[in-house]
Amino acid sequence: MRKQCFAERYYADHFSHLQKRYDRALENHRIDKLLVYSGAVKTRFQDDLPYPFFPAAQFKAIVPLINAPESWVIWQAGNKPILLLYQPEDYWHVVPQLLESYWTPYFTIVSIVEKEQASEFFGDTQHSAFLGEPNRHIKEWIAGQYNPEPLIAELNWHRSYKTLYEQACIREANKTSSKGHIAARQAFYHRASELDIALAFQQACQQSEEMLAYPSIVAVNQHAAILHYWGRDSSVPGRTHSLLIDAAASCYGYAADITRTYSFYHGLFADLITALDRVQRELVSKHQVGVRYFDLNVLALHKIPVILEDAGVLKMSATTAVECGVAGHFLPHPLGHFLGLQVHDVGANQRDASGALIDIDPNYPRFRMLRTIEPNQVVTVEPGIYFIEPLLKQLQQGKHRNAIDWALVAQLRSCGGIRIEDNVLITEDGPQNLTRIAM
């Protein structure tokens, strides 16, 4: 008997869910037809070399195709959706080939060899809507309303709840990512360069850079203090102190998002990693249905200075450090975000499906994850402690400079910072840590 893959097992229910979601949205907004565009391959300025292609999230929300530029989904309520798959007669580039898969029976699949053929299938577009990134030739077509915000807001709201199929994809992405993180850790302890660590991660995941969920952050030593460091130093530093690796694989278009930090030596920095890991696990456990994500952000901001006070870095109480703003210099980013088709998935600050937004607290302007925790959401939990030069400079020149043990900070500057990040599925019975299970 043929073994059923995890995606095939859950896809029928997932597609049924999509049908209800999209048919209801079209009815709510009095739209007869949805024209969803995957996107175009773009070339560099004054060059013929293409940028990597990434499909529009609105396209891969319906069909799990990642490398299908100039393709379309035509969705009409009550009808089988049409997939227009662009398959040009081209010997310069790889042409997308479509084999029978778990999802193909749910679509009427039509091959087109010219981009312009797509518009022939649009029909009457008086009550249609276009979703995607329009380009010059598409703007010349009559494709109905372009990216109507109320419709997108409703679809985004419902994307924040993951079906069993979507949960399984994110779970599988975590499993693949865990292989990469293990390989990266081994490479680090063998004193590999950032480039070699990044390659070790990719090799273990068996995914090219374009297939990964996002460009990997592989930060050795001080580079870990750059929150989105995308360098690839090919040389090994004279003395290796630390590694922060924020890297993840994808699965059928769904992302994982995992960060780990390692110390090359025992000592203060290693102790801080252990302490932050303990706090991170505690924060994961607090992700219970009914709790506000905002409150967990505030809790994280109070937990970080406790670690620093216990280590002797802070010479003021943790409470005072939060109240006077010192704590934010060591944790300058929010606790987490939604995860799904996009690494920073949509709907985090919506009040409801209408698109109305939750007011941002002026005391915490960085906190944009403002929803209340509900079942079937998938989020990241990623507290950090950083020694970022511009922020340290502000403290050194500010009125609270005497509240910092600068001798200890000097020891830690060369390590850059710490971030520990897991992906968490919310259930009625409590949070499931998809990352720790995988690793």
- Model confidence pLDDT, tens digit, residues 317-349: 999 999 999 999 999 999 999 999 999 999 999
Query: pLDDT band for position 2 (50/70/90)?
Result: very low
pLDDT over 50 (residue 205)? yes
CB 252 within 8 A of CB 335: no
Percent of the chain with pLDDT over 90: 89
Phi, psi dihedral angles at 346 (to 5 degrees): -85, 165
Task: Say if 1 falls within a structural domain.
Answer: no
202 and 330, same domain (yes or no): yes
The mean predicted confidence, pLDDT, of the chain is 94
CB 56 within 8 A of CB 81: no
The CATH number of the domain holding residue 110 is 3.40.350.10
133 and 183, same domain (yes or no): no
pLDDT over 80 (residue 96)? no
pLDDT over 70 (residue 247)? yes
CB 168 within 8 A of CB 425: no
pLDDT at 91: 64
Q: What is the mean pLDDT of residues 288-297?
A: 97
Bridge pairing between strands 128-131 and 33-37: parallel
- Model confidence pLDDT, tens digit, residues 379-415: 999 999 999 999 999 999 999 999 999 999 999 999 9
207 and 114, same domain (yes or no): no
- Model confidence pLDDT, tens digit, residues 10-26: 999 999 999 999 999 99
150 and 269, same domain (yes or no): no
188 and 150, same domain (yes or no): no
Task: Say if 305 falls within a structural domain.
Answer: yes
Query: pLDDT band for position 439 (50/70/90)?
Result: confident
Q: Which residues have CB under 8 Å from 40's CB, separation 6+?
A: 69, 70, 133, 135
187 and 54, same domain (yes or no): no
Q: What type of residue is 396? A: Q
In the numeric block, which tokens belong to residue 268?
């203060």
| Domain range for 251 | 164-438
R_g (Cα) of the chain, nearest Å: 24
Angle between helices 194-205 and 164-189 in degrees, nearest 10 = 140
- Model confidence pLDDT, tens digit, residues 57-91: 999 999 999 999 999 999 999 999 999 999 888 76
354 and 284, same domain (yes or no): yes
Give how many domains the chain has, as a whole number.
2
Strands, sheet with 128-131, edge to edge from the N-terminal-most edge strand: 108-112, 82-86, 72-76, 33-37, 128-131, 145-146
pLDDT at 92: 67
pLDDT at 229: 96
Query: pLDDT band for position 35 (50/70/90)?
Result: very high
Query: pLDDT band for position 1 (50/70/90)?
Result: very low
pLDDT over 90 (residue 294)? yes
Query: pLDDT band for position 107 (50/70/90)?
Result: very high
Q: Which of 137, 159, 181 is the last residue of a domain?
A: 159
> What's 111-176 look like in SS3?
EECCHHHHHHHCCCCCCEEEECCCCHHHHCCCCCEECCHHHHHHHHHHHCCCCHHHHHHHHHHHHH
Task: Say if 324 falls within a structural domain.
Answer: yes
188 and 63, same domain (yes or no): no
Task: Say if 402 falls within a structural domain.
Answer: yes
pLDDT over 90 (residue 148)? yes
288 and 371, same domain (yes or no): yes
pLDDT at 162: 98
pLDDT at 4: 56
Task: Say if 225 falls within a structural domain.
Answer: yes
pLDDT at 5: 78
- Model confidence pLDDT, tens digit, residues 259-285: 999 999 999 999 999 999 999 999 999
- Give residue 30's region: left, alpha or beta (phi > 0; psi -120 to 50): left
pLDDT at 143: 78
Q: Which of 93, 125, 159 is the last residue of a domain?
A: 159
Task: Say if 335 falls within a structural domain.
Answer: yes
The CATH number of the domain holding residue 234 is 3.90.230.10
CB 401 within 8 A of CB 314: no
User: What is the Cα–Cα distance from 7 to 168, expressed in whole angstroms?
Assistant: 7
155 and 168, same domain (yes or no): no
- Model confidence pLDDT, tens digit, residues 167-191: 999 999 999 999 999 999 999 999 9
- Model confidence pLDDT, tens digit, residues 364-375: 998 989 999 999
82 and 168, same domain (yes or no): no
Q: Which of 129, 159, 189 is the last residue of a domain?
A: 159
User: What is the Cα–Cα distance from 392 to 225, expressed in whole angstroms?
Assistant: 11
User: What is the Cα–Cα distance from 165 to 313, expressed in whole angstroms?
Assistant: 46
315 and 353, same domain (yes or no): yes
pLDDT over 70 (residue 157)? yes
